[in-house]
Amino acid sequence: MRNFFILLILGSLCFSFKTEGYSSITNESITTSKKQQDTIYKCDKKAQGYFIGSKKNGYWKFFNSNRSIKSQGEYLNDKKTNYWFIFNSAGKLISEGNFLNGKKNGYWKFFNSNGSLESQGEYINGKKMNYWYNYSSTGKLCSEGNFSNNTKEGYWKFYSNDELILSEGRYSNNSKEGYWKFYANNKLLKEGWVSANKPISYWNIYNENGT
């Protein structure tokens, strides 16, 4: 009877250790050999970090199927918080930025597979807001402008691979609206009014010499 109570207490201690503290989450499969009746466990780690109760807290790492790091950052009460790094399956950094209450919040950067900057700008409560910059795969600025709730809103500029201006004008709810200008070889090619991405009303179209 005494031995039974000792085992019961040890079992309770083991349970407490698993539910509050460091943990590794795995995909686990079990195979059994019919001849030898041996059980073989295959474990592939998916994540590692700390639990307080049943909630993730503190620093966590998540892994791709090839065991490279997929993402890493901090949790607070099961929600992502503070600065996070996100990687592709080849281990290259593809984005980094801040979380608040589980949503992107603050300045974020996104990268191409070659490591060059793809875009950068601000998130508020999980949505793109304010001024953003977008770049080509060679790192050249290709557009810049304002977002509001994940949609283009306000003044935008677009550039060629040589970073020469191609067009400029305003967006409203992700559609070109108002007066737009279009360029070729850094010279004004045409200008006029646009509504719902389509030209309307009066337009000026110029020759290559600007006349």
pLDDT digit string (tens) for 15-66?
333 345 666 655 543 333 333 333 333 345 799 999 999 999 999 999 998 9
Q: Tens of pLDDT along 81-92?
A: 999 999 999 999
Beta strands in 13-126 (DSSP E): 21-32, 39-52, 55-63, 69-76, 79-87, 93-100, 103-111, 117-124
- Is the model's pLDDT at 111 over the cut of 50? yes
- First-to-last alpha carbon distance for the chain, in angstroms, is 103
Q: pLDDT at position 37, please?
A: 36
pTM of the entire predicted model: 0.78
Average confidence score pLDDT of the chain: 84
129-176 pLDDT tens trace: 999 999 999 999 999 999 999 999 999 999 999 999 999 999 999 999
What's the confidence (pLDDT) of residue 22? 60
> Residue 72 carries which side chain, given as an amino acid letter?
Q
Residue 5, SS3 per DSSP: helix
d(CA 207, CA 166): 16
